[in-house]
Amino acid sequence: MRRHANPAASCLTLALAFLLAAGGCEAERPGAWPVVRADMAPNTWVRLQDHTPKNTWETGVAWDRDSGLIVEHGGHVLGSYAQSNYTWLYDLRTNSFRESHAAARPQRRCLVELDYIDTLGRVVTTQGGSGHGSVPQGGLGGDYKMVFKGDPRGPWLYDASADRWEDCRLLGRWRRQAHCQTAYDASSDALVWIAGDKLGVFEPWSNRVAYRDLPESLRGRLSYAIAADPVSRRIVLFGGTGPLGWIWVGDKPRAQAYRENVRADTWLYDVSADRWKQVVSDVHPPLGQPLDDHIKLPMAYDSATGTCLLVINPVSEYTPDRRTWGPAQLWSFDVAAERWTRIETSNPPPLGGLTTYAPDADLLVLFGGGDDGKVEGNVRPALSRCLYVCRPRLPGRPPVPPSPVGGVRAEPYAIPLLAGSDGDPKVKHPSIRVSWRSSFDGEHEIWRADAAPLPGAYRKVGIAPAGAKQWLDLTVEPGRDYGYRVVEAGGRRPSAVALTRPCRPGGLVASVESANRVVLTWARDGQREHLRYNVYRARGAEVETGKGERLTPEPVMAHTLTDAKVDLSDGVARAYWVCAVDGHGVEGGPSPLAWTMPDAPASLKAVRKGDTIELTWQPPPGVKLAGVNLYHQTTHLNTHEQPADVLKAWWGGWKKVNAEPVADGRFVFTRPTGAANPHDYFYLRAENPLGQEGFYTDIVSATDARFRPACD
């Protein structure tokens, strides 16, 4: 892959536009920015980039532990209203970017959030929604006889090492809330966010979502700062605006709306106990400007200081001239002490941005933060393309190195034990084998919690001797769920949780062979070969109950099943899901749903050759198809807040260009003679043997750089 380095001059913006219009990646650029040294001065901001390939307008960033890269995804395409589904990977070691080439990607969305999921070793993207002329992936509803244009059912997971996306397609409904950030608690395997009047809780390992009550004063809260402290097992939430977004309060003066709606309160949340506590503190960060220019209040957990770090501008009143805000401040919140501390820094960035902490480099990384996004004399923080790093330190507190314990697995196991001394036959005793990786050569403590469904309070159940990298728990009860954490003896650096229940399966595909035959296949769990599987089916709206008809009287060992009892002649879509079952009869969570409507084609490309445009794609894998249909439009529209008649006319302008479904993955489109519009836009849908069209691809264009395909 080509790499993106920092450019030497702003005139290269034009070069970027030219390269994008040609449908290619940015070429490697010369750069003299130094990679940050291990001995860099603490509490000093260093600008490493001033021309990153993306701005921060409604995008998301997260550090990926497995690959050691920072993932940046979604939002808007540079300064355009057009939404993005492009993914960039930033390497701190080389101070360079490269673009993801994943064949299948989430739809174009803005207002996205990113978090790293320890149990799965992947980054999750959530909250984003289409609405600026993006063709949504699609969903099913109503009579369940067709796929309508709608946002996806649940989040997507990204494997940065394999460069692969997966749609989670939840069995339950995801309550998306715009301008609400998320935080992942590694001790509970729970991603949380404020979902209107409820708290959303997503369990990635089990692929389940649930909703809990909120304190009255947090209902409807928007644009707050949030982070998880994995040592104290607390979520920290600060400020924001609510229950009204002060920017959208009608005719009320902005200054008054700001005073009435913007907050500077601090809350702690215990996920396992479902308990909130408001922190009373005489010292706290300023209010900032949440929602102004769609600004997020960025907060991240820093393992070196053991605190949550917030980057915020020193503003506590409505100040429309962003040039007068003053440099960004760095604040630290200590959960154990329930105290805010301002960290004095050198060379602070002018503005806030998006933050993530990279423990392998011990750096707080700020995407954006510059005053380079100038528009008509003012500054748009969301358009900054800078990148800063800082190594935070607290006075009087030595830094804590990252936890040396990783890769923890807790697998149900059975060991043979003698029933008596008289030589009775051996019997099997239930046990859990806990294994891990660690750079620490001393003893390790093993902590266990009941997990039903989330891990509760942990208690120490054993100590592994020095040099050991596994431990056997013989005190478990068959059929119960547990969560384990491994800790360096005498340290305060616990691992992420390892759960004993089977992980939800992946890769489920439903191939419609005929109206009475659907062939299901799913991926094998290479970690646990002994698993068996239950297969479920729901007809249309039955899926909304979260329960379906079980097709396997007993769990099966195979990774395929043929449903020959289905009757699809009614035109109603069926949903299938698979749950893994371990040797003790514990059933894990549901796989992402597979529908009888086909998935979207992948790797869609468009290349213009004179008056023709060649489109190529890959069909959805593992399914029988009648072929693929292509849809064309000559204009693009920002559909946000458009009148109904304008929307109807634009959506009605998409026309199918093929007479019969195309089966070979290639189509040549001939532009009409004398076509007045300079651009052509396309999306594709696969069609199953019953004539039912499935989910939508992204828009692609051979000439409009905002809708370029992923790089080759």
Whether 479 and 613 map to the same domain: the answer is: no
Q: Please indicate, yes or no, if residue 2 is contained in any of the structural domains.
A: no
Q: What is the DSSP letter of 605?
A: E
Instruction: Enumerate the H helices of 636-685 as residue ranges.
Output: 644-652
Q: Which residue has the higher pLDDT, 693 or 547?
A: 693
Q: Average pLDDT, stretch 435-460?
A: 94
Whether 266 and 195 map to the same domain: the answer is: yes
Peptide bond into 53 cis (omega under 30): no
Which H helix or E strand runs over 19? helix 12-21
**Residue 660, domain CATH:** 2.60.40.10
Judged against a pLDDT cut of 60, whether residue 55 lies above it is answered with yes
Q: Which residue has the higher pLDDT, 36 or 99?
A: 99
The residues pairing with 111 across neighbouring beta strands, listed in sequence order, are: none
Whether 575 and 655 map to the same domain: the answer is: no
Q: Give the span between the Cα atoms of 212 and 176, in whole angstroms.
A: 15
683-698: burial string, b at 16+ Cβ within 10 Å, e else: bbbbbbbeebbbbbbb
Q: Considering 576, 595, 614, which residue would you say is the last residue of a domain?
A: 595
Range of the domain at 659: 602-707
Q: Average pLDDT, stretch 193-211?
A: 97
Contact 168, 159 (CB under 8 A): no
Domain count, the chain: 4
Q: Average pLDDT, stretch 63-71?
A: 96
Q: Considering 554, 572, 595, which residue would you say is the last residue of a domain?
A: 595
pLDDT of res. 504: 96
Q: Please indicate, yes or no, if residue 38 is contained in any of the structural domains.
A: no
pLDDT of res. 22: 30
Of the candidates 309, 272, 538, 306, the residue with the CA atom closest to the CA atom of residue 399: 306
pLDDT of res. 598: 97
- Return the ∠ at Cα 583 (arms to 582 and 589), rounded to 5°: 15
pLDDT digits (tens, 9 = 90+) for 132-178: 999 999 999 899 999 999 887 689 999 999 999 999 999 988 999 99
400: phi then psi, degrees, rounded to nearest 5: -105, 120
Whether 416 and 548 map to the same domain: the answer is: no
The number of beta carbons lying within 10 Å of the beta carbon of residue 608 is 17
pLDDT of res. 14: 27
Whether 202 and 320 map to the same domain: the answer is: yes
Judged against a pLDDT cut of 70, whether residue 7 lies above it is answered with no
Whether 220 and 360 map to the same domain: the answer is: yes
Average pLDDT in the chain: 91
**Residue 435, domain CATH:** 2.60.40
pLDDT digits (tens, 9 = 90+) for 561-573: 999 999 999 999 9
- Return the ∠ at Cα 334 (arms to 330 and 338), rounded to 5°: 120
Q: Average pLDDT, stretch 365-382?
A: 93
Whether 238 and 376 map to the same domain: the answer is: yes
Q: Average pLDDT, stretch 179-187?
A: 96
**Residue 230, domain CATH:** 2.120.10.80
Q: Considering 390, 424, 439, which residue would you say is the last residue of a domain?
A: 390
Tokens 């040609």 correspond to 22
pLDDT digits (tens, 9 = 90+) for 271-282: 999 999 999 988
Q: How far is CA 55 from CA 78, 129, 295, 521, in A?
A: 6, 18, 12, 40
Whether 192 and 236 map to the same domain: the answer is: yes
Q: Give the span between the Cα atoms of 220 and 198, in whole angstroms.
A: 8
pLDDT digits (tens, 9 = 90+) for 304-357: 999 999 999 999 999 999 999 999 999 999 999 999 999 999 999 999 999 999
Whether 350 and 460 map to the same domain: the answer is: no
Q: Average pLDDT, stretch 397-410?
A: 89
Q: Give the span between the Cα atoms of 139 and 36, in whole angstroms.
A: 45
Q: Please indicate, yes or no, if residue 25 is contained in any of the structural domains.
A: no
- Return the ∠ at Cα 480 (arms to 476 and 481), rounded to 5°: 100
Q: Give the span between the Cα atoms of 161 and 67, in whole angstroms.
A: 5
What tokens does 294 get? 């769609």
Interacting residues of 510 by C-beta distance below 8 A, sequence separation 6+: 518, 519, 520, 574, 576, 594, 595, 596, 623
Q: Please indicate, yes or no, if residue 106 is contained in any of the structural domains.
A: yes
In the chain, the amino acid numbered 130 is S
pLDDT of res. 19: 27
Query: Got the DSSP string for 468-516?
Result: --EEEE----TT--EEEEEEETT-S-BPPPEESSPPPP---EEEEEETT
Whether 386 and 285 map to the same domain: the answer is: yes
pLDDT of res. 9: 30
Q: Average pLDDT, stretch 356-365?
A: 95
Q: Please indicate, yes or no, if residue 30 is contained in any of the structural domains.
A: no
pLDDT digits (tens, 9 = 90+) for 483-496: 999 999 887 789 99
Judged against a pLDDT cut of 90, whether residue 418 lies above it is answered with no
Q: Please indicate, yes or no, if residue 37 is contained in any of the structural domains.
A: no
Q: Which residue has the higher pLDDT, 525 or 158?
A: 158
Whether 79 and 153 map to the same domain: the answer is: yes
Region for 127 from its dihedrals, namely left if φ exceeds 0, alpha if ψ lies in -120 to 50, beta otherwise: left
Which of 258-272, 285-299, 523-537, 638-652 is the least confident region?
A: 523-537
Judged against a pLDDT cut of 50, whether residue 25 lies above it is answered with no
The number of beta carbons lying within 10 Å of the beta carbon of residue 520 is 22
What is the chain's length? Answer: 712
Which H helix or E strand runs over 695? strand 693-696
Interacting residues of 253 by C-beta distance below 8 A, sequence separation 6+: none
User: Is the pTM here over 0.75, yes or no?
Assistant: yes
Contact 590, 171 (CB under 8 A): yes
Peptide bond into 243 cis (omega under 30): yes
Contact 350, 370 (CB under 8 A): yes
Q: Which residue has the higher pLDDT, 56 or 5?
A: 56
Q: Please indicate, yes or no, if residue 33 is contained in any of the structural domains.
A: no
Of the candidates 523, 502, 522, the residue with the CA atom closest to the CA atom of residue 511: 522
Judged against a pLDDT cut of 80, whether residue 30 lies above it is answered with no
- Return the ∠ at Cα 398 (arms to 395 and 403), rounded to 5°: 135
Judged against a pLDDT cut of 50, whether residue 394 lies above it is answered with yes
Q: Average pLDDT, stretch 188-202?
A: 97
Whether 590 and 606 map to the same domain: the answer is: no
pLDDT of res. 12: 26
Of the candidates 32, 35, 31, 92, the residue with the CA atom closest to the CA atom of residue 61: 92
% helix, strand, coil for the chain, step of 5: 10, 40, 55
114: phi then psi, degrees, rounded to nearest 5: -130, 140
pLDDT of res. 417: 64
Q: Please indicate, yes or no, if residue 53 is contained in any of the structural domains.
A: yes
pLDDT digits (tens, 9 = 90+) for 95-128: 999 999 999 999 999 999 999 999 999 999 999 9
